[in-house]
Structure 1
Amino acid sequence: MLDVPIRDESIRLGQFLKLANLIDTGADAKPLMIQGLVQVNGEVETRRGRQLLKGDVVALGSQSARVS
């Protein structure tokens, strides 16, 4: 699992996916979420604007990244 540091207290899910290099562009996030391919802390997440906090784990397929 990749630890990805953020500057602020929280980050939006769509931004984090790009920061963690799980997607190429922010526009890629929504279709993947609609298909139910993105998980946050083991649960499917469909809201691109969900706020993530340090310690949250985001998974896309076999890749995962933790907010740190």
Structure 2
Amino acid sequence: MIEFKLNGEFIPLIQLLKATGLVYTGGEAQIVVTEGEVKYNGEVDYRKRLKVKKGDVVEFRSKKIIVI
């Protein structure tokens, strides 16, 4: 489990995946989101510009990110 401390109101999903080191580039992040590999609060989400906020949980390749 990864705890990500959010500075500000939200972080775009693609930036979150890069900031936590789960993907190397924004392009890679866009691909995994559009292919349905990312879950947002328990549901597969295909939105690249999704605004992730405190309390949200993102899952990707058996890694769980909790935004605090």
Task: Flag whether TM exceeds 0.5 (same fold).
Answer: yes
SS in 2 for 1:64: strand
Gaps of 5+ in 1: none
Residues 19-34 of structure 1 aligned to structure 2 (within 5 Å): 19-34=19-34
Q: Superposed, which structure 2 residues align to 1:42-53 within 5 Å?
A: 42-53=42-53
Residue 67 (structure 1) aligns with: 67
Identity %: 37
CA separation in 2, counterparts of 1:19 and 1:6? 11
| TM-score, L = length of structure 1 | 0.91
- The SS at the match of 2:32 is helix
Gaps of at least 5 residues in structure 2 are none
SS in 1 for 2:8: coil
Aligned length, in residue pairs: 68
